Amino acid sequence: MWIIVIIGTFILGVFAFPQIIYPPFVAWPKSKRLLKENKLKSSIPISKFFLPPLVWSAILVSLTIFVREYLEKYFKLYCIVLIFTLIIVLAQVPMKSEKIEADLNDFFKPYLKDEKQ
């Protein structure tokens, strides 16, 4: 069972932490910069930056409570793997990943002005 907890928690962390960290701490500052440089048609709704982190935080908290209440034997292992995963995700924030840049470009595409203007 501990293998399932390790793998499941790691996968959860790999999906949840970027959704919690990147929108407010990477995408929002980039949108502010693009707005100052007058490259956006209009400002991006703030909900685009804070709703996904709220949803993923709620999922993470709910699962943490579930593990604490029903799988308390594995709670410490769950927390250790979550912290390990968080460190991995945080270490990647300053790096310029092509995949992250591509995701950000897709996110901003509907709001960018046409280059021809």
**SS3 sequence of 20-58:** HHHHHHHHHHHHHHHHHCCCECCCCCCHHHHHHHHHHHH
User: Measured between alpha carbons, how far is 75 from 85 in angstroms, rounded to an integer?
Assistant: 15
Residue 117 clears pLDDT 50, i.e. is over it: no
pTM for this prediction: 0.84
Task: Return the pLDDT at 115.
Answer: 61
- Residues 4-45 pLDDT 10s: 999 999 999 999 999 999 999 889 998 999 889 998 888 889
Give residue 45's Cα distance to chain centre.
17
CA distances from 79 to 39, 111, 112 (A): 42, 38, 40
Task: Return the pLDDT at 99.
Answer: 80
- Residues 39-61 pLDDT 10s: 888 888 999 999 999 999 999 99
